[in-house]
């Protein structure tokens, strides 16, 4: 009985792996989409501009 269960687990292992891989991919994709929504774009661009402005000030001071 134990051998059958172990064999079944070995056969299911690739399927479980692929399911987890796909689930992780979906989560990553949804997070990426959420981060790049037009609503958040304005705030992110401003932050980048501020950072680049600070960088410019540093280069000018040097």
Task: Report the C-alpha gap between 35 and 47 in whole angstroms.
Answer: 14
pLDDT tens for residues 4-61? Answer: 999 999 999 999 999 999 999 999 999 988 888 776 555 555 555 555 666 556 555 5
Residues 6 or more apart whose Cβ sits within 8 Å of residue 9: none
- Answer with the residue of higher pLDDT: 62 or 19: 19
Residues 6 or more apart whose Cβ sits within 8 Å of residue 6: none
Task: Report the C-alpha gap between 30 and 22 in whole angstroms.
Answer: 12
pTM over 0.85: no
């Amino acid at each position: 009985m134990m051998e059958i269960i172990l064999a079944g687990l070995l056969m299911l292992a690739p399927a479980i792996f692929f399911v987890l891989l796909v689930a992780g991919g979906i989560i990553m994709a949804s997070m990426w989409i959420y981060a790049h929504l037009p609503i958040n774009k304005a705030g992110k661009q401003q932050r980048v501009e501020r950072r680049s402005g600070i960088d410019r000030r540093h280069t000018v001071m040097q």
